[in-house]
Structure formats: structure tokens, C-alpha cells
Amino acid sequence: MTRDNGTRGTAGFVGLGLMGGPMANNLLAAGWRVRGWNRSPAAYGPFEAAGGERIASVAELAGVGTIVFMLPDLPMIEEAAAPLLSAWAASPPAERTRVVVMSSVSPVAVKRFGAAVDRASAGRAAVVDAPVSGGRAGAEAGTLAIMVGAEPADFDALGPVLRAMGANVVRLGALGAGSLAKACNQLIVGTTAAALAEAAVVAEAEGLDVGELFGVLSGGLAGSRVMDQLAPRMIARDYTPTGPAKFMLKDLRFVEAAAAEAGAKLPLAEAALEVFGELVAAELGDLDLASVHELARRRSGLAATPFQEEQP
């Protein structure tokens, strides 16, 4: 890692939104110099207040040894990275550079992106996929689970950066392995969220206190972090986004593609795809993942009163 001005090193960070902003701030808090870029200017305020440095173009990161991308999907990453790849094509990086994709992306497509980066940089830059789980709360606390696909030497070199943002950082294989692991994670989260929503609906329809129900279930085998995070929001019908639910549909499509490649049949994944496809079609996709509860209520004719769209 390049050392600058007494800091631990310099890192680039592209995407300073709901997740990326807190993650970049944790790097700053750990002593890194962070140079950041974001599509919309509003995100720069908290970043600069924490000590981050705004850049005008991603191409300015051409000389930085570690560059993190935290944008919603790979096409956005490819678009944002285009000036960087052009800069490398004109003048390859002088030392090993690691492009860290921390978004949830296709395990297949991220390998193609890796090949494009390798060509543009004359083999001097490598893509590492390191998607995260833990939501905005985990991003803010620096306790994310980070699933990494990388060569062993690249993983070791990135350890200090990744551990500044996550509490559980694991290499699962070569490039693409991290994204496949995240797809598996999302299959579990998505189906669990949908099951919680339907449990709440049937309980409410039969006159149970849903809060008391989830309280007792959380102490048994049904308890999970998904329940801990989503149950209070479902009970309050508070769907203020901590991460838009529409991204679950995108992630489940990655599961579908991986299953097709492996020749595996996944009935629960297929059912979850149907649920979250319907959720997006119902214009709930910009709300929190907990909004799958609203979809379940509508399906059951229980959504007669408006839900809480915003917090004061």
C-alpha cells in the first residue's frame, strides 16, 4: 500500500451512498487517506466532514493502489471505471493495483470485468470481488461480513482495508467466489424476509399480537439476524429504506443464473424471484426490504390503512 503523509495509506472510493458513505468513513477513522468520487454531490458533505478528499473524475485514482467500488450494479461500475481504464491504457500503473468490487454483482460478469481491467492495465491491475452483508447498520458500525474472491496475495494485501470496514472477512476462492457467496446470502435473506412477512400476515389475520409473536419466536430456532432487523420494521410498518428492496430482485437473478450454470433446480429461489418481481411491479422497490410485508398484506387484503413512508 502506498504511504502518504503519515496515514496508513491511500485508498480510492467510488460510490458514497447509503452503504459506501459509512464504509469510506470507517476507512478514514482507521487512518487511511481516502479520495472519493460520487455521481451526486450531496454525498460529499458527510465524506468531506470526516476528512475525505473529493475528486472530479475516477481517472484521478489511476495512481492509487487500492480502489473500492460501491455502486448498485456492475454496469454502473463499468461506466464509472471507464476513465480509469482509459488512463491505464495510456499509462499502465507502476505497481500492483487492486480494484475492489464491494457491490452485489453477477459472479459471471465480474470475471469479464476482471479480464477488461487486466487488459487495460497491461496486467498490472486485478479485480477482487468483496461483496458485503450487514446492511447500513453494519456499514456504520464497521461490522460487515465481507465475502472475498481474490488471489491469496491480493487478499493478504487488502486485509487492513477490508478489516477497517468488516468484522468477518473471509476469502472463499478466486475472482467470482465472493459474488457467488453473496448470491447465496441473498437467497437466504430474501426467502426469510418473505416468510417473516407471511407469518406476520397470517398471525394478524387470526388476531395474534405480531410483536409478541416475533418476540417469542426470536428466542427459538426461528430467530435470526434477518428477524432482528426486519421484524420491528414490519410490526411498525416502517419501510423507510436502509437499502432498496428492488436490489433483492437483482441479486436473486444472480442466484437464478448461477443455478442455471450449475444445472441446479432451486424451487425456493424461483418462488422468491416471483415475490420480489411482484414487489417491484407494485412500486414498492424503492422502500426497505421489510416492504415485502406490505406486499403480503396487499395479497391478503389487509392493507386498508397507509403504511409509514417517512420518519420525522
Domains and CATH numbers, the chain: 10-174 (3.40.50.720), 180-299 (1.10.1040.10)
In 15-116, beta strands by DSSP E:
33-37, 53-54, 66-69, 97-101
Q: What is the per-residue pLDDT for 301? A: 85
Bridge partners (DSSP) listed for residue 128? 100
% of the chain exceeding 70 in pLDDT? 94
Residue pointed to by grid coordinates 421489510? 290
> What residues act catalytically?
182
121-152: pLDDT as tens digits? 999 999 999 999 998 999 999 999 999 999 99
Q: What is the per-residue pLDDT for 6? A: 37
Mean pLDDT of the 93-100 span: 96
The H or E element spanning position 172 is: strand 166-173
186-243: pLDDT as tens digits? 999 999 999 999 999 999 999 999 999 999 999 999 999 999 999 999 999 999 988 8
- All three cell numbers of 155, joined, read 487478499
Length of the chain: 312
Q: What is the per-residue pLDDT for 312? A: 36
Residue 249: name the closest of 225, 217, 280 by CA: 280
Bridge partners (DSSP) listed for residue 288? 244
Q: Do the Cβ atoms of 271 and 264 come closer than 8 Å?
A: no
Q: What is the per-residue pLDDT for 307? A: 61
Calpha distance 281→132 (Å, rounded): 26
Q: What is the per-residue pLDDT for 223? A: 96
Higher pLDDT, 42 or 4: 42
Q: What is the per-residue pLDDT for 309? A: 53
Q: What is the per-residue pLDDT for 2? A: 36
On average, the pLDDT of the chain sits at 93
Calpha distance 215→28 (Å, rounded): 38
Confidence of residue 4 (pLDDT cuts 50, 70, 90): very low
21-49: pLDDT as tens digits? 999 999 999 999 999 999 999 999 999 99
Q: What does DSSP assign to residue 95?
A: S
Q: Do the Cβ atoms of 102 and 23 come closer than 8 Å?
A: yes
Higher pLDDT, 69 or 5: 69
Mean pLDDT of the 303-308 span: 59
Whether this prediction's pTM lies above 0.95 is answered by: no
- Strands 144-149 and 132-133, sheet pairing: antiparallel
At residue 20, what is the residue type?
G
